[in-house]
Structure 1
C-alpha cells in the first residue's frame, strides 16, 4: 500500500474518530504560528492537536542526505484556513492534507505554513503528509551547544537537544504542550545500526522500525545511527530494555547501565510504577555538553555514562517525560526532581546523610547560588540553578512537610498528571492539599524568589541547627 493510500485511509478513520464537529460561527482563520510559551512564543503552533507522527526516513551517512515522508494525524481545535508546522532548513517537496494536494510556504526560521484546498472545520480530523529532503543541521545554543540533529566522528548521526531539536529532522508541532505517539521507519546502509524511542517493531532488510506508544513531547524524540553494540533484556514486569553503546564505550559505562533495572526499581519505589512503555539508553562516543531524557531511552554524552547520570535521566521518565512542563518557566518540575533523585539514591544506596549534605551546601553557598531562580528564571537561564539550588529546595520542602506527606507527593503527582502537562504553581497547590499546610511563604522563599531564604524556611524540621 502506498503512503498516499495510507494517508487517505487514515484520514477517513481520523474523521470517524475525531468527528467533523459542529459548524463554527466564526469564519476559518489562520492557525497561530506559535504555541504561546512565555520564553519561546514562536515554538509550536496553534489551531490543532496532534495524535500521532508516522515518519518514514531514508538517511545516507556518506552524504548526510535525509529524505523524509511524514504523516501527521491531528484534529483541528478551531476552524482553519491554514495551519503551521515547524521545520528547520530542510526542503519541502510536497504537502497533502486529507489526501489532497495542499499549498505551502516557508517563512521565518522554522515556519511551514500549509493551506488545504478547503478550510478545516473545528473538530475535523486532519492527516497531513509532508515529503521533504535535505542535509539536517543542528541549532546552536549558547549554553548547551548544538541541539537537534548532530553528526558523530564515526560518520553516524544522533538527535539530542532541548528546548528545540525535533524540527531539525521532521515537520512537527514543536511544543511541550502537544504530546503525540511517534512511529519511525528509517532506512540506512546495512553497516549501520539504528536505535530510537519506544519498542523495536522489527528490521526489514536495511529498514528499522520503532514505535513509541506513550505520548511524547517532540524534543524527547530521538534516533541514533551508529555501529552500535546492543544489549537487550526486560524489566521484571516485561518492559523491553534496549541499550546501545557507541564503539569505544568503556566497560565502566556498560556496567553502570547494566544496573538500569535496579535503578528503575528504586525510582519506582519513590515515584510510582514506571510510566513508559520501554527502557534503555543511548551511549554516545561524542562528549556533547549534556545528556538528555529522551523518552524511554535517555541519550548520554560520551563523558557521562555513570550511575548518577543514569539515575538523573531516568528519573525524568516520571518528572519531565510522562509529566511534561506546561511552560518552559516550569522546568524545575523536570530538573529539580531529577537532581533530587540523585540525592535519594545516595541516601538509600550509599548511606549519605542528606541533612548533613544540605547544611554543608548552605554553609558554602555564595550569593550567586542564592540569586538563582527556580521558577520563571528567564529564557536561556532554564538549565542553571535547577541542578544545584533545586534539590536543596526539595530537601527543605521534605523537612517542612515531613516524610509521609513528601513521599506521598512524590508518588502521586506523576500518576495524577500522567501523559499531561503541569506547572509549578499547580504543584504548590497540590503539596498544600496533601500536607494541609499553607506554603506560600516557603515557595516564595525557595522557588519564586532570588535571595537566601529566611531561617524559618532555610532550616525547617530536622534541619534546624543544633543548639
Structure 2
C-alpha cells in the first residue's frame, strides 16, 4: 500500500497503541473465532485450512445490488461441530456443508458461525457454500468503494474481502481464488489473476478471473466500471492486462512501462512470482493505492514511483506475506525502499547516499519522526513509520552488509518464503546469518527503539565520513 504524500506526513505524529490480547478459546470441538493476531485477534478462524475460494457474484451498478454464492474448499484440522467464517457483507440466505443444509448465525463484528449437520473430522476435506444477497455498502477504502462513474471496486488493508465474500480472513491462510462475475453487458469486470472468460449473452456480461497462486483476502479485488484496456506481454511471454476507468486514461503512459518495472524488480528479488500482471486505475477519491495480487488498485494521483512501489509488493507482501500485522515492515519497508531509493539510484543515477544523509540531518532532532518503532509499531500505526523510516533502515542495513551480501540475502530470503509467510524476527535471524558482525545492536536501534539510532548504526560502512 502507498498513501498519498500528504496523508503519510500527517500520520507521522500518531501515537503508539498497545497490542490487544488474544481471546482465550478452549472448546476442542469448535473452531476458534479468531487466531489471536496481537492487533486483530478476531481475524481468521481456527479448525480448518482453506485451499480454494470459488466466488460467484451478480452485481448491478445502478442499484448496488449484490447477489453472491461463495464455495470454500477446506480441510479440517480438528474435529468440528461448529466453525466460523469472516463475513461482513449482505444478508446470508443459506449455508450448506458438504451439500447438506447447515445452521448458521451472524454475530460479533464479522463472524458467520456455521453448524454442519454432520461433524467434520480432522484431516478430511469439506466444502462450505454460502448464498447471500443485498446492497453492497460503500466502505470508502475499507471494502466496496463507489466511483463517480457509477462503477465500484473493492480495496482496503488489512480488511476489505469480508464486504463481498465469506472467508478465513487471516494472514496465515492463503488460498487460490476464482471469481465468476455477471454485470450488465455495458460494464467490464477486472480482478486478480488470468481472465479466462469475458462473454456477453443477451443483457449480461459474464467474466471469470482465476488466480493460480495462493493469496490473502485483502489482496483479492473486484472492479466494475467502463474500463478500457492495455494489453502487453513481457519478453518471456507473461501476459499483462491493465484497466483504466473513464477518467484514468492519463495513467496509460506510466503503465506502459510495466514490463520495464517487472524486469528491474525481478533482477533485484528473483523471478516474478505470478503468471500474470497488470494494474487497475480507478477514478474515485482514494487516499491510497493497494497491491492487490497481480493487478494493483491505483488511485487517481498515481505516478511512476507508486507503480514501482506496488509492483515491489508482489514479492514483498503478496508472495511473501506477514505472519502477523506487527511484521508490516517486511511489506512496506521493502516496497518503499525499492521505489524511493533503488529505482532512482539505478534508473535515474541519483546519489541516494546523499539523500540518506540529508534525510537524517533533516529529522535528527525531530522526535516525532522516531517515536513509532518499525517492528511492532502498534495497532493503528501499521501504516506510518514503515513508509518514511523503513527505507532509511534498509539503506543502513545494506551499507552495513555491503551490496553483494545484502542483495543476495534479500533475494534468498524472499525465495525461501515464496507463497508463504515470514516475520521480522525471521528476517533478522536470516540477515544475521550472513554477517560475521553482531547485528543485534543495529537491529534493536533501528527496529525497536523510539529514538534516533546512534551514529555507528546511522552511518555504517560506506555511509561513514
Which residue is 2:393 aligned to? 393
1:285 counterpart (283, 286, 291): 283
CA contact (8 A) 2:56 2:70 kept: yes
CA distance in 1, matches of 2:27, 2:217: 30
CA distance in 2, matches of 1:238, 1:412: 25
**TM-score normalized by the length of structure 2:** 0.91
Which residue is 2:229 aligned to? 230
CA distance in 1, matches of 2:309, 2:245: 21
CA distance in 1, matches of 2:360, 2:62: 52
Query: 1:341: how far off?
Result: 0.3
Query: 1:136: how far off?
Result: 2.0
DSSP 3-state at the match of 2:288: coil
CA distance in 1, matches of 2:120, 2:141: 37
Query: 1:109: how far off?
Result: 1.5
* Unmatched 5+ stretches in structure 1: 1-25, 140-144
CA contact (8 A) 2:232 2:240 kept: yes
How large is the RMSD of aligned CA atoms in angstroms? Answer: 1.2
**TM-score normalized by the length of structure 1:** 0.91
DSSP 3-state at the match of 1:452: coil
DSSP 3-state at the match of 1:383: coil
Query: 1:410: how far off?
Result: 2.2
Which residue is 1:259 aligned to? 257
Correspondence 1:283-432 to 2 at 5 A: 283-304=281-302, 306-342=303-339, 343-365=341-363, 366-432=366-432
How many residues in Structure 1 have an aligned counterpart in Structure 2? 433
CA distance in 2, matches of 1:447, 1:290: 25
CA distance in 2, matches of 1:37, 1:138: 27
CA contact (8 A) 1:183 1:212 kept: yes
Query: 1:89: how far off?
Result: 4.0
Correspondence 1:20-59 to 2 at 5 A: 29-59=29-59
Deviations 1:351-393 (A, max 9, x none): 1111101000000012111222101111110000000100000
Query: 1:227: how far off?
Result: 0.2
CA distance in 1, matches of 2:455, 2:123: 53
2:444 is the counterpart of 1:449 = no
CA distance in 2, matches of 1:203, 1:129: 24
CA distance in 2, matches of 1:94, 1:437: 60
Query: 1:438: how far off?
Result: 2.2
DSSP 3-state at the match of 1:30: coil
CA distance in 2, matches of 1:346, 1:198: 29
Which residue is 1:18 aligned to? none
Which residue is 1:433 aligned to? 433
Deviations 1:105-132 (A, max 9, x none): 1101210000001111111111000001
CA contact (8 A) 1:249 1:283 kept: yes
CA distance in 2, matches of 1:413, 1:138: 39
DSSP 3-state at the match of 2:427: helix
DSSP 3-state at the match of 2:184: coil
Which residue is 2:184 aligned to? 189
Correspondence 1:77-96 to 2 at 5 A: 77-96=77-96
CA distance in 2, matches of 1:119, 1:28: 13
Deviations 1:227-253 (A, max 9, x none): 0011112112221100001112243x2
Query: 1:210: how far off?
Result: 0.3
DSSP 3-state at the match of 1:255: helix
Which residue is 1:275 aligned to? 273
Which residue is 2:216 aligned to? 217
CA contact (8 A) 2:89 2:165 kept: no
Query: 1:27: how far off?
Result: 8.6
DSSP 3-state at the match of 1:188: strand
Which residue is 2:195 aligned to? 200
DSSP 3-state at the match of 1:29: coil
Deviations 1:13-54 (A, max 9, x none): xxxxxxxxxxxxx99511011121110001111111000000
CA distance in 2, matches of 1:27, 1:150: 38
CA distance in 2, matches of 1:266, 1:247: 30
Deviations 1:42-99 (A, max 9, x none): 1111111000000110000111010001010000111111110011141111111011
* Unmatched 5+ stretches in structure 2: 1-25
DSSP 3-state at the match of 1:81: coil
